[in-house]
Every structure is written in structure tokens, then in C-alpha cells.
Amino acid sequence: MRHPDNLRNNPMRVLMVSNVYFPRINGVSASIETFRKTLQSCGIEVDIVVPRYGNELEEDGVIRVKGKQIPFVSDAEDRRLSWRKMKRAVLERARDCDLIHRKTNSG
């Protein structure tokens, strides 16, 4: 853990990883966005690694991993994500992070 005096020159960095995010609207997406904005308002740098659902606009700090729609599932926004692609995206962003937080809709 870094000393608080070091945070002035080097802000804390947090990486959040989830299997859901906007434009999918649910409690997990809302919670991630609330935490993200609150942490950023405290001067903490936050990146998130989440699924790509379609043609979302690029957004600073949001890394989208392409997934495939799951056939025969009632929720068209559910995505099957490649473990390798998620792992690669997380490892690339996690190098300089102080904290990694995983948040999912499945526990």
C-alpha cells in the first residue's frame, strides 16, 4: 500500500472487471458506474474491462471485450466472453493498478 503522501503525485489506480455494463441496464451496471464516478471524484483513476454489446462509442477508461450473443437465451444482451480475450485485456490494464475489483451479476 502506498503512503498517502505519494498519492498526491501518483493517484491510486483501480481496475474494475465485469461481465455486464451499459448499455445493459441492471443493478451491476449502475453500481459500477456509481463506484467509478465516486472514485474519480476522489482523484482515483478508474479503468473498467467489460463486454462489447455492439457499436458502443469509445469512452476513456472503458475497455470493451467482444463477446458472442448466447443463442436461445431470453436476454439478448447476455454475452459469452472469451476467457483468453478477457484475461489479456485485464492483464494489460492491471500492470500499474493498486486494486482490482470484480463485479458480476452471477455472484
pLDDT digits 0-9 by tens, 21-52:
999 888 999 999 999 999 999 999 999 999 99
Q: What is the DSSP letter of 64?
A: E
Q: Which residue segments constitute the domains of the chain, with CATH numbers given?
A: 4-101 (3.40.50.2000)
pLDDT of residue 78: 73
d(CA 58, CA 66): 13
Q: What is the pTM of this model?
A: 0.82
3-state DSSP assignment of residue 102: strand
